[in-house]
Structure 1
Amino acid sequence: MSIRSLRRLLADDPGLGAGNVLEARLALGLGLDDPLITFDTPVDDHAAWQPFTLRELDRAVRARAAALHALGVTRRDPVVVWSGAAADHVLAFLALARLGAIPALLNPNLDAERAARYIARLGAAGVLADEAHLAALADQEPGAPLLPEIGTLGAGDPEAAPAPYRHWSGDPVAITHSSGTTGMPKAVVHSHASLYAAILHRLRLPRPQGQERMLSALPAPHAATLIALNLALSSHTELAVLSGQSGAEVLEAIERWRPNGVVGFAATWADLAHHDLAARDLNSVALWWNTGDCAHEVHIRRLIATGSRETVTREGRVRESGSLFVDGLGSTEMGHSHFFITHGPGTERYGRCVGRPHAFVDCEVVGPDGEPLGPGEIGELATASPTLALGYWNDSATTFRTRLRGRFLTGDLMYRDEEGYYYHVDRAVDSVQLDGGERLFTAMSEERVLAACPDVLDCTVVAVRDGERVVTDVLLILAEDSATDLDRTKAVTAALDEATAATVREVLVVSGGDIPLGPTGKVRKVLLRERHLGAARTAGATGSTGSTGSTGVVSA
């Protein structure tokens, strides 16, 4: 049986979904002893970077299912998984899904106090954690029993595992959480069908170049990792799952494991830009695949200048320098990116263009009254898709508040052009209304500053309303050896639209440590707004006009 036949058989299976892909693969009997899933930490009798075959993966999952079953875990039990190792999240998800339980994956970077409040709000049946995170919960009140340390589950007897639970399409199969950049993360519940819908779409298409051997730099507890895992199982794609997402970790993994493709979030691509990519061996990479927030043009261009890919010429297939970057826009609630655009050497459609919608998406841009807007008009994205999550666990108020005529209101401000391409300008919570009906968009402002200032590696725009006025601070992270005392205010304000430039109070050179990040690496702009609003009010109280027209330097 060929890989193409495998994909077709799985695509035609009406009972297949996110909760039973491993069982379906085993039943087909193809490639059971081929290396398939690799972890960067030791697991059971496997050393770090020693791949699991399908047969070995099944044994590890059955061992954990048996151990969990012996602890009394059964169908519909929400069980929290909190660990620093990607392997723990992947294997616990597969084992809990086999039991019909609901794995609630928790980002290891979440602080203990917020984690405990989140767990209590879930009403979890138990908490599976590694030693470090169990210790972090010792002084907290998560309102759920702490189960044995997660690493002990591998000692379970695979032969004692109960028969796999038979999933229905609407069964809850996982709870993942939002980035938590605006406060407490929201618990998003995915169904057996919703978390697999985009994979079904992909299985009916040719497998793209770069998907033969994929490196996942996604946060392991994120829905995107579960999609990448099930896509790998469904396509017989070799997949390595990283426990960390920093640029240094990703570069080391690429040089060690030699992937054809790398999938990650925008924060990782920004971090990679801090490194000298030309000095690293990235030749194996043909494809960079972004999901979540759309990526910045300058970061994309640095990546596609590296790697190599096969192209077809009159002389046949040849390998050319340069790689491709698939960008898009997605979220935990959307379940999968709803847009896509491919960048490569020579492509020029940037400016925060996220491309066109996937075939399984029905979306529109709506105004404040919920009515659809025309081309060029900025509004909120309202989208419908079989990939959408069921809603928020134990929070029906927020679930229904974010629905409009069967569509999900994403909180993203966007517009589409006459050709049907969509552009992302900001998150609604980060934009600010200006006088005269104009609006300040922080994400688009960051895009423009990065494009105009070559020695700026990353940029964060913080806009706050203080009474009747709006003040904006622009925070710059510079390339190594760049002059920190150079006045960049004129270059920065020239890159912005006139209304936004008029609000600029300070242009500050900062270090990475000055930018507060959420668990998934997103900038916590709500904290920055509080910090800079306080600075603006202090300046107003002392009669100072601030440092408009000059570049300041701050450090953590």
Structure 2
Amino acid sequence: MGLPALRTKLIADADLGAGNVLAKLREHGVAPDEPTITFDVEVDGHPAWTALTFGELDERVAARAAWLQARGIGRRDPVAVYVTSAADVFLNFLALTRLGAIPALMNGNMPGDVAVEYIQRLGATGVIADAVHAPLLGAQPVFAAAETGTGDPGAAPEHFRHHADDPIAITHSSGTTRMPTPVVHSHSSLFAAIRAIRLTEPRSHEPVRHMSALPAAHAAGIITLHQALCNRYELLCLSAQGGPFGHNGAAVVDAIERWRPTGVFGFAVTWAEIAALDLSGRDLDSVRVWFNTGDCAHEAHVRKLIAIGSHPTWTREGMVTVPGSRFTDGIGSTEMGHSAFHVTHRQGSEHYDRCVGRPYPFADVALLDLSTGRPVPDGEVGHVGLKSPTLAPGYWNDSVNTYRNRLDGYYLTGDLMYRHDNGCYHHVDRAVDAVDLGDGQWLYTALTEERILARCPDIRDCTVVARRTATAVDTDVLLILAPGADPTIDRTEQIRAAMGGPAAATVRSAPVVQENDIVLGPTGKVRKFLMRQRHLAATR
């Protein structure tokens, strides 16, 4: 079946959602020998770096569904998945949804003691864990991930029929302090953006090969998998290998050279790591576009990425390939399900300063004054409120926070933005990280970091840590230097100049630190709450 006909059928199928993509593709005639997903690890004897056909993928999922059903797993059972490889995440996710169970996908970098408490809070029926993670769980009953693929595919039950509101996954936030928050996704919510935009967007004239460096256990990882399957894109899913918090830049660059993707998905931390590398002599011309979600990416990192790769363009001589790629930024969160905003950067574009672009058509965005519940005018910073079919229904076993984050029908994302009069939105900070300086002045840590990196080329990355004393606000800017930068130089005045305004007057110091001095969560996001506690306690 041709792709246009398949996409037309999928769009028209009201029962299609995030819980039954494989079953619906089979129903609508995808050929068993069509290539689908490639993993960087062996799958049940199938070699790494070699695509599974649709038939092979379906069979491997069916084997796991049969194995899990034989051990009592069924409808509405929450089952934790605590593994390393993307293959173990996705194949067990697909198998559990076939049974009508609820896979609770856990980032493999979650510390063992946190994982044990998290699983207990879930009330999980069981835990699928690999050989690395099972010993961390103590007496917790474990299903061995290496055994789940040994079931009889022929014994797998028919696919469970999901209702639009049925829970089909639990993923988690990065954890502001210590304990990640479990977020529920429904059959309709986690597929809404694919239905609204990904199945209708124009198909490239050339083969599409996407590579995902996203954590497989994240909502964005599931969406990337589903949009590739439904659009018949080739997809390589990298596992959490190469760095203490997932993929380091070098591992991703190596994979690009090996697999030659046209598009690469990742979080902001991935681009920061790639931008820190010497990319001269690396063969990255296959990349047409970089896709970011999670935190807004920094201008300093985006500019380095769009300078590499290539893109086709029309000339008088016809279609030619020229240097330079695109970077599509889509700020999002676990609770948002899919990013609500999008902006594309390319060489020559200048919409930076944490510009996140415009909302997608499916997203109703309001910037709210929490004291009145009313929208703020253009140019004024407000709390982001979102109404969207992509939103997660709530938090698992936590009604208090599910409803606390709602206001006048909007979900409060925890972000602070302002809207420019040209219709574009600019992200300035997370609400919990912004510091009130008084007299209507604020220190926005994310915007401050953005401006420092844009103006100080010898600084590779930085983290702003601010605290309020009895009489003032003290700010330390922790600097990670670019390769070759002189660590003995005092950059405090340079930092103040980059910050400008009342925020500059709060700067106490700008010390050079090492990467392991920065407290990160499982996805590589800086835990600023803990940084404030630990760093400021040490410098009193």
Q: CA deviation at 1:211?
A: 7.8
Letter matched to residue 236 of structure 1: R
Confirm or deny: 8 A CA contact 2:289 2:328 kept in the other structure.
Answer: yes
From 314, 317, 320, the counterpart of 1:318: 320
Q: Which TM-score applies when normalising by structure 2? A: 0.97
Confirm or deny: 8 A CA contact 2:114 2:178 kept in the other structure.
Answer: no
Give the match for residue 541 of structure 1. none
Shift in CA distance, 116/393, structure 1 to aligned 2, threshold 3 Å: same
Confirm or deny: 8 A CA contact 1:178 1:332 kept in the other structure.
Answer: yes
How many angstroms apart in 1 are the aligned matches of 2:216 and 2:470?
42
- 1:449 is paired with a residue whose SS is helix
Give the match for residue 549 of structure 1. none
Q: CA deviation at 1:209?
A: 7.2
Residues 288-313 of structure 1: CA distance to partner in whole angstroms, max 9, x if unpaired?
00011110001000000000111223
How many angstroms apart in 2 are the aligned matches of 1:175 and 1:248?
31
Confirm or deny: 8 A CA contact 1:210 1:285 kept in the other structure.
Answer: no
Give the match for residue 90 of structure 1. 90
Give the match for residue 129 of structure 2. 129
Give the match for residue 46 of structure 2. 46
> 1:9 aligned to 2:9?
yes
Q: CA deviation at 1:207?
A: 2.7
How many angstroms apart in 2 are the aligned matches of 1:55 and 1:48?
17
How many angstroms apart in 2 are the aligned matches of 1:102 and 1:280?
42
Confirm or deny: 8 A CA contact 2:30 2:54 kept in the other structure.
Answer: no
From 180, 189, 207, the counterpart of 1:185: 180
How many angstroms apart in 2 are the aligned matches of 1:123 and 1:312?
57
Which shifted more, 202-211 or 408-417?
202-211
Give the match for residue 192 of structure 2. 197
Give the match for residue 161 of structure 2. 166
> 1:152 aligned to 2:134?
no
How many angstroms apart in 2 are the aligned matches of 1:454 and 1:92?
44
- 1:52 is paired with a residue whose SS is coil
Give the match for residue 281 of structure 1. 283
Give the match for residue 243 of structure 2. none
Letter matched to residue 8 of structure 1: T
How many angstroms apart in 2 are the aligned matches of 1:130 and 1:243?
13
Q: CA deviation at 1:447?
A: 0.5
Q: Which TM-score applies when normalising by structure 1? A: 0.94
Residues 11-49 of structure 1: CA distance to partner in whole angstroms, max 9, x if unpaired?
111000001111111122234212210111111011111
> 1:391 aligned to 2:394?
yes
> 1:243 aligned to 2:239?
yes
Shift in CA distance, 31/246, structure 1 to aligned 2, threshold 3 Å: farther
Shift in CA distance, 210/359, structure 1 to aligned 2, threshold 3 Å: farther
Give the match for residue 403 of structure 1. 406
How many angstroms apart in 1 are the aligned matches of 2:207 and 2:431?
34
Shift in CA distance, 194/211, structure 1 to aligned 2, threshold 3 Å: farther
Confirm or deny: 8 A CA contact 2:337 2:391 kept in the other structure.
Answer: yes
Q: Paired residues, what number?
A: 532
Give the match for residue 76 of structure 2. 76
Give the match for residue 244 of structure 2. none
Confirm or deny: 8 A CA contact 2:300 2:454 kept in the other structure.
Answer: yes
How many angstroms apart in 2 are the aligned matches of 1:405 and 1:151?
47
Give the match for residue 416 of structure 2. 413
Give the match for residue 328 of structure 1. 330
Confirm or deny: 8 A CA contact 1:175 1:189 kept in the other structure.
Answer: yes
Q: CA deviation at 1:466?
A: 2.3
Q: CA deviation at 1:59?
A: 0.3
Residues 217-272 of structure 1: CA distance to partner in whole angstroms, max 9, x if unpaired?
00110000100010011000100111122212111110111100000100111111
Which shifted more, 268-277 or 394-403?
268-277
Give the match for residue 552 of structure 1. none
Residues 29-73 of structure 1: CA distance to partner in whole angstroms, max 9, x if unpaired?
234212210111111011111210110000000000000000000
Q: CA deviation at 1:133?
A: 0.8
From 451, 458, 461, the counterpart of 1:458: 461
Q: CA deviation at 1:210?
A: 8.3
How many angstroms apart in 1 are the aligned matches of 2:204 and 2:390?
21
Give the match for residue 504 of structure 1. 507
How many angstroms apart in 2 are the aligned matches of 1:271 and 1:210?
29
Confirm or deny: 8 A CA contact 1:278 1:306 kept in the other structure.
Answer: no
How many angstroms apart in 1 are the aligned matches of 2:463 and 2:295?
14
Give the match for residue 227 of structure 1. 223
Confirm or deny: 8 A CA contact 1:176 1:223 kept in the other structure.
Answer: yes
Confirm or deny: 8 A CA contact 2:449 2:463 kept in the other structure.
Answer: yes
Q: CA deviation at 1:316?
A: 2.1
Give the match for residue 448 of structure 2. 445
How many angstroms apart in 1 are the aligned matches of 2:368 and 2:143?
49
Confirm or deny: 8 A CA contact 1:34 1:53 kept in the other structure.
Answer: yes
Letter matched to residue 212 of structure 2: S
Q: CA deviation at 1:448?
A: 0.6
Residues 151-199 of structure 1: CA distance to partner in whole angstroms, max 9, x if unpaired?
1011100000011000110000000000113331110000000000000
Give the match for residue 142 of structure 1. none
Give the match for residue 116 of structure 1. 116
Shift in CA distance, 132/138, structure 1 to aligned 2, threshold 3 Å: same
Give the match for residue 486 of structure 2. 483
- 2:519 is paired with a residue whose SS is coil
Letter matched to residue 287 of structure 1: V
* Match runs of 1:58-73 below 5 Å: 58-73=58-73
Confirm or deny: 8 A CA contact 1:210 1:261 kept in the other structure.
Answer: no
> 1:216 aligned to 2:218?
no
> 1:431 aligned to 2:427?
no
Residues 63-120 of structure 1: CA distance to partner in whole angstroms, max 9, x if unpaired?
0000000000001000000001111000010000000000000011111111111111
How many angstroms apart in 1 are the aligned matches of 2:502 and 2:29?
63
Which shifted more, 70-79 or 3-12?
3-12
How many angstroms apart in 1 are the aligned matches of 2:69 and 2:331?
38
Q: CA deviation at 1:368?
A: 2.2
Which shifted more, 30-39 or 152-161?
30-39
Q: Which ranges of 4 or more aligned residues in structure 1 deviate by more than 3 Å?
A: 208-211
Confirm or deny: 8 A CA contact 1:360 1:385 kept in the other structure.
Answer: yes
How many angstroms apart in 2 are the aligned matches of 1:36 and 1:98?
18
Give the match for residue 345 of structure 2. 343
How many angstroms apart in 2 are the aligned matches of 1:354 and 1:377?
16
Q: CA deviation at 1:7?
A: 1.4
Letter matched to residue 176 of structure 1: T
Q: CA deviation at 1:378?
A: 0.2
How many angstroms apart in 1 are the aligned matches of 2:15 and 2:160?
12
Letter matched to residue 175 of structure 1: I
Confirm or deny: 8 A CA contact 1:210 1:260 kept in the other structure.
Answer: no
Letter matched to residue 389 of structure 1: A
How many angstroms apart in 1 are the aligned matches of 2:45 and 2:235?
19
How many angstroms apart in 2 are the aligned matches of 1:521 and 1:79?
25
- 1:162 is paired with a residue whose SS is coil
- 1:131 is paired with a residue whose SS is coil
Confirm or deny: 8 A CA contact 1:116 1:137 kept in the other structure.
Answer: yes
Which shifted more, 2-11 or 95-104?
2-11
How many angstroms apart in 2 are the aligned matches of 1:507 and 1:120?
41
How many angstroms apart in 2 are the aligned matches of 1:75 and 1:466?
53
From 499, 517, 520, the counterpart of 1:517: 520
Which shifted more, 45-54 or 64-73?
45-54
How many angstroms apart in 2 are the aligned matches of 1:467 and 1:252?
51
Q: CA deviation at 1:392?
A: 0.1
